Chains A and B, each alone.
Chain A
Amino acid sequence: MKKSVFFGALTVAGLAAGAAAAGTLDDVKARGKLNCGVTTGLVGFAAPDANGKWEGFDVGVCRAVAAAVLGDATAVEFVPTTGKTRFTALASGEIDMLARNTTWTFSRDVDLKFTFVGVNYYDGQGFMVPKELGVSSAKELDGATVCIQTGTTTELNLADFFRANNISYEPVPIETNAEGQQQYLAGACDTYTTDASGLAATRATFENPGDHVLLPEIISKEPLGPLVRHGDNEWGDVVRWTLNALITAEELGVTSTNIAEMSAAPGSNPEINRLLGTEGNLGEMLGLSADWAKNAIMAGGNYGELFEQNIGESTSIGLARGLNAQWTEGGLIYSPPFR
């Protein structure tokens, strides 16, 4: 009985919401809005602009899913989550999907009961140091104070890296990227470590980005991707194939500029026709309208366009495609066929 009191209190606190987990697709349709978990603010990936409108690479995925399901790319409620609150938010049903530079790992997939629907950015953990420190390799960081976002895989990689190289460090646990930036710039830590893309994005917001360098070592594999709850496969399929549609669109040369023309009538490429719903009934199989993929691509462009607009070389963040190029161009971005 005493146990039940605790359990009861906890139930009220959060898990009661989990009961509504089944049928997320129907829930989203009924609500008319997609609840999408994003970071609390990482320029390029997910951050509100001057007018409070969320923008970024991860935000683009959220908007594409909303466009595919609801036909409206703006029907998204962005829920900022920290490294620590993101999984609880998803498990409890507060958000329908999480697109928050989250690394796909075994234990998150298997033990925490989430389904990663794919990878939208192949990343790795790096270190940023002030140039004046004169450090050229992460192995020279013996005794350094390291700012690290708590509750992330990077926290574990960091411990592993320093142990493997038999050097010591002092962790300064921080909650959000903004806090890390502040601590790092104040000199409270010698180096800031997180995913290399995040470091580049953070550095882009500095007053003098040139005073800081990213060290050459990439100490881990960080495949970042959107994820949903385990056990709701229909919803998982919707998010997975929306992401794949964006990737396939780039591969097939479907862009936000030519999509209106391409989707007007069936063209000569059957795969494009199936993707855009002018042929076959893929949308119906997903429980969506026939033009679901068209809407998703029109929301922010195909994968390559999203990349270029938000984090590509023309932006202040300046990330090269690298591993994130299409498989046809030597990268890892690869979508199963639409058939």
Chain B
Amino acid sequence: MTTITDPPKESFRLSQLIYDTRYRSLTFQAIAALVLALSIWYLGNNLIQNLRAAGLNISFDFLGDTANYDISQRLIEYDSQSSHARAAIVGVLNTLLVAVLACITATIFGVIAGVLRLSNNWLVRKLMAVYVEIFRNIPVLIWIIIIFTIMTAVLPGPRAFRGDDATSSMVLGSFAFTNRGIYIPAPIWGPGSMVVVATFIASIVGVFAYRRYTTNLLYATGRLLPVLWPSIAMLLLPTLLVFVILGKPIGLDFPELKGFNFQGGIKIGGPLIALWFALSIYTGAFIAENVRAGIQAVSKGQTEAASALGLRPGRVMNLVILPQALRVIIPPLISQYLNITKNSSLAIAVGYADITATLGGITLNQTGRAIECVLLLMLFYLTISLLISAFMNVYNSSIKLKER
């Protein structure tokens, strides 16, 4: 005889929080969250208590005060009477400048080295392997210092350019390579120069339009027009023509040795070059590996199929391999760009006035506002990194495999 009993009534007991698998995970998560909140509260409270004990407070008023120090590398007007906020902006722009320059050159180095690492030529392949292994396995700070030291030690000082028996002379009479930086001619924008610039921009638009036209023509009719030479001609000829017709409105301001330094022209400072070059070759080695991995991820059958269709090796790479490889390359490339931006804070080692050197260095030191400055620095790097990520993610989703 069997009696069917009702299942026991669900009554909640406290012990269920630990012994019942349905609730256990929730219990532990709640405990973990509580512990986390308490420790954060403890640390924050500790900070505030200590600040109060030391008679300090958090205030950002110092940003409006006169900075009183000079910065040699600057993209906007700045002098010692400007505010700390402006000094910080000078630093931000310098950080962005070196980050953008280094991202571009690192990509170029990386793509070249990555493709050449797969070369059929034994020597080229091994040379690239040596480049990658040497550069990515030595800390970037060391590279920055090595390059800067070599620059200051090997290149001549401006004094070597002086006098009749000068030991150094300018390259082509217009470029001066000194241990303080490289001086190059600067353009002088005369009247009518904007017309030349406008023509040049129009030419660029024209080149893109032409390329699109040839692609469409190719797809529609199968007729292939030449692209390279017409593009170059379209890019240069109209601009040159306008330049000559308007009577050469753009002149060049050549650097010249005056007093202690070269004056005139554009100066690319030694610290900027050292930092830019070091970040480029260092990160380039990582990007090379990403590119190699990306290319190798495309099945060999793709190459063979494309070759079987009669495509030349260049076209196989450009039309078949790279578009597929990019899907693999882009995500790690994003993190390399982030690395460059963050590593640019090593500028301090060579006296390049980036945001860490101005706001996080001199301003912090002269005002003693360590917490405020570090908070602003963290906020800046976080914002920039997230922005780079966001942009690159948009690009990534535009090239990723479209599944239909």
Contacts and interface: CB of A to CB of B under 8 A. Distances in A.
Interface in B1-48: 39-44, 46-48
B261 interface: yes
Given A91-B54, A112-B368, A187-B152, 8 more contacts: A11-B46, A16-B50, A113-B56, A150-B365, A156-B366, A163-B81, A172-B72, A187-B159
Interface residues of A, number: 58
A173 B41 CA distance: 40
Contacts of A18: 50, 53-54
Given A16-B50, A145-B261, A173-B357, A159 B72 contact: no
A21 interface: yes
Contacts of B371: 10
Interface string A134-174: 00000001111100001100011011101100000111111
Nearest to B71: A171
B361 interface: yes
B133 interface: no
A151 B51 contact: no
A83 B365 contact: yes
B260 A141 contact: yes
Given A150-B365, A188-B270, A11 B260 contact: no
B374 interface: yes
B365 A19 contact: no
Contact of B179 (A83, A87, A113, A186): A186
B307 interface: no
A84 interface: yes
Interface of A: 1, 3-12, 15-16, 18-19, 21, 83-84, 87-88, 91, 107-108, 111-113, 132-133, 141-145, 150-151, 155-156, 158-160, 162-163, 169-175, 182-183, 186-190, 230-231
6 cross-chain pairs, A with B, having the tightest CB-CB distances, nearest first: A187-B157, A8-B43, A4-B44, A151-B365, A159-B80, A11-B47
A133 B158 CA distance: 12
Interface in B39-98: 39-44, 46-51, 53-56, 68-72, 79-81
A180 to B, nearest CB: 10
A150 B361 contact: yes
A141 B261 CA distance: 11
B258 interface: yes
A9 B47 CA distance: 9
B378 interface: yes
Nearest to B362: A150
A6 B378 contact: yes
Contacts of B147: none
A15 B261 contact: no
A114 to B, nearest CB: 9
Contact of A163 (B49, B80, B378): B80
- Chain A CB within 10 A, most for which of B179, B270, B365, B371: B365
Contacts of B53: 18-19, 21
B171 interface: no
A107 to B, nearest CB: 8
A20 to B, nearest CB: 10
A188 B40 contact: no
B317 interface: no
Contacts of A9: 43
Contact of A143 (B46, B47, B258, B361): B258
- Chain A CB within 10 A, most for which of B179, B258, B362: B362
B157 to A, nearest CB: 3
Nearest to A114: B368
A131 B4 CA distance: 110
Interface string B124-168: 000000000000000000000000010011001101000000000
A230 B54 CA distance: 8
